[in-house]
Structure 1
Amino acid sequence: MKSKDELIGLQHSIADKAEIFDDFGDIKLVGGVDQGFIERDYVVSVAVTIGVGGDLVEKSVSVRELDFPYIPGLLAFREAPSAIDALSSLDRAPDIVLVDGSGIIHPRRAGMATHIGVELDLPTIGVTKNLLCGELVSEPNKVGDCTEIRLDGDLVGYCFLTKKACNPIYVSPGHRVSPKTAVEVVDNCLDGYKLPEPIRLADQLVGEEKNNYK
């Protein structure tokens, strides 16, 4: 395994390659990818695609033996290979992918969504339940509110209150998407739940896949 310094260097390289502006056409297929763990030995990733009407079009599953330790800030090296496998196995690549993980809301602006996006050269958006770094300009007050998250003065994403009586989610571009468009795409993928449908569905399917190994 590479040293921690080498891996951090790779993250800086990934961040340099990331395009934080809109670079995609019409969105007809939205992808979602999530991952979970079987005990401490395997990571399970499920990738889905959802059509314009919200119906599941396709799913793909990847199960890989874990060969990278848990190191905060370097989680993409542990989890992204399985997610990349699942996305690469889809018969048709999605036009944009929502990733359960950070995009550029990351100390080196190279979270899971950025890692996957640059590796596959796909437009990606990171969606998380916890703020990894950065500062909130203000707290969202009501459902539908989005408030800026800034890192070293730069806009890196939004805090988005998507459902009443729930904590907000944190949305950031991964690759080939701007911050504003990232939150607009997530908003368009909401269907009454806290999480956007592609990630919510992928999360459900990860749970089902994990049950198969009990």
Structure 2
Amino acid sequence: MEPRVKHSWKLTEKEAVQLQQELARQVIAEDRLADVQYVAGVDVAYSKHSDKLIAAVVVLEAESLNMVDSAVVEDNVHFPYIPGLFSFRELPPVIKAFQQIKTAPQLIVCDGQGLAHPRRFGLASHLGVLVDLPTIGCGKTRLLGEFEKPGSVRGSMSPLVDHDEVIGNVLRTQDGVKPIFVSVGHKISLRTACDWILKLAPRYRLPETTRQADQLVNRVLGGDG
């Protein structure tokens, strides 16, 4: 699976911010989903022993949530650690992993942010624009924004707000379990994004896309001497 939009990854901090601002104008925050048969999950982790990072892509059947395809790519870190610009560190190996999968997804869930980002262009939005597919940002933690705690039962949610703009929802995926932070990545509405995260998280706090990608990354890191 090849990206539809390509750009250089050798950028200064200023150039990266400018590119985010330009590409953010291409984000579509409404439903453009086709019939979703396969959903991809994306996760990235860093080696504790080197400057390597591991990117994993898993593809699950939407109905059964069984994994049908996966790819793992190890790469060196080529962009500095700068808050708000993580996608420039993490997306190059993610793109390489997508190039290896044989089963094309119709929806992608990222372990990270979409519009819930200072420039409304987190990793999920960046990836969505590059591959031209519906994407969801699903973060374990908040990057920015204020919210009131959602109700304690599964499906409860409250808006995540930054400067009077709703940038995501704080969603409870299991009764009495810490909520997660869902935001639009690309080509999907916030309501539909939350519906999909609940569908993908029938038993655990995190959606199966994230859980299975994370497990794949950890298996690789487990052998990282």
* Match in the other structure for 1:33: 42
User: How much does 1:16 deviate?
Assistant: 0.7
Task: List per-residue Cα deviations over 1:10-64 (Å, max 9, x = no partner).
Answer: 1111211111111121111011010111234111011011112111111111111
- C-alpha separation in 2, matches of 1:49 and 1:162: 21
Q: Does 1:150 align with 2:161?
A: yes
Maintained 8 Å contact 1:33/1:87:
no
- C-alpha separation in 2, matches of 1:103 and 1:166: 23
- C-alpha separation in 2, matches of 1:6 and 1:46: 27
Maintained 8 Å contact 1:103/1:126:
yes
1:1-214 equivalences in 2 (<5 Å): 1-39=10-48, 40-51=50-61, 52-136=63-147, 138-143=148-153, 144-214=155-225
Maintained 8 Å contact 2:173/2:206:
yes
Maintained 8 Å contact 2:37/2:106:
yes
Task: List per-residue Cα deviations over 1:105-147 (Å, max 9, x = no partner).
Answer: 00000101011111111111001111111221x2112122011
Maintained 8 Å contact 1:155/1:179:
no
Paired residue total: 213
TM-score, length-scaled by structure 1: 0.95
What percent identity do the matched residue pairs reach?
35
- C-alpha separation in 1, matches of 2:41 and 2:189: 18
- C-alpha separation in 2, matches of 1:13 and 1:135: 26
User: How much does 1:82 deviate?
Assistant: 1.3
**Which amino acid in the other structure matches residue 171 of structure 2?**
F
- C-alpha separation in 1, matches of 2:163 and 2:186: 19
**Which amino acid in the other structure matches residue 150 of structure 2?**
P
User: How much does 1:183 deviate?
Assistant: 0.6
**Which amino acid in the other structure matches residue 201 of structure 1?**
Q
Maintained 8 Å contact 2:200/2:207:
yes
TM-score, length-scaled by structure 2: 0.90
**Which amino acid in the other structure matches residue 38 of structure 1?**
S
**Which amino acid in the other structure matches residue 154 of structure 1?**
E
